[in-house]
Each structure stands twice: as structure tokens, then as C-alpha cells.
Amino acid sequence: MEGQATLEQRMLTDTLGAFGEGTTTITAERGILLLEGWLNALRGDVGAERILAELSTLRDMLKEPNPHGEQIRHLLLSIASHTASLSHEPTIEPAVERQLKQLVTVLRDVSSQL
């Protein structure tokens, strides 16, 4: 339907909003909710298996009482790399491309804080 945002687009907007300008830290609980949203949004997408596995692993790590920062940092960087690749796909609209690139920056910034 024209003009209606897809679940993926809404998740992208929600995720960027949660992190603000990259200076906002979010709780593990909020991170888990965002990851659950992404898992739902990407489920069934062709080629999304690897990123789905990483998102699932990250969600599970955040549920642990004492998450391992280095492993989380590694996953965030890997997800950022996948997102950067996706932003260069020819089928991505310019506005979505800008948001994906912003998400890459946020993921890298968050990983550097761990």
C-alpha cells in the first residue's frame, strides 16, 4: 500500500529514535525490545538468515545477568557491516539509504562505548 511504512521502515525509525544522536544509551530491556521488533520485521526475508542469527544472539546476550561487553561489541560491529552493505543495494530508496547509514554510525558508536 502506497504511503504506508513497512514494519522494517518503522523499526528503522524507532531504532534511530531510541539512540537519538548516538549519545543516548539505552537499557538492556529497551535493547531487547528493539531486537525482538527487528526479529519480527526481518523474519521470512530472503537473505536475512545471518543477520537474524546475530540479532537473536545479541538479544540472548542482553538477557544474561552479566553480558560480555566484548562479544556484544563484536556483534554490533558485524551487524553494522551488514547494514552498511545493505545501504549500497541499488533497490534501496535514498531516504532509507540515509537512515541505514545513520544506523551504521550509531551501531559503531555504541560498540565503541563498550
pLDDT at 2 over 50: no
The whole-angstrom separation of Cα 49 and Cα 51 is 6
Query: Binning pLDDT at 50, 70 and 90, where does residue 4 land?
Result: low
Query: Binning pLDDT at 50, 70 and 90, where does residue 13 land?
Result: very high
Query: 97-106 contacts: CB < 8 A, separation 24 or more?
Result: 99/12, 99/13, 99/16, 100/12, 102/16, 103/12, 103/15, 103/16, 104/80, 105/22, 106/15, 106/16, 106/19, 106/22
pLDDT digits (tens, 9 = 90+) for 29-69: 999 999 999 999 999 887 788 899 999 999 999 999 998 99
Which residue ranges make up each domain of the chain?
26-113
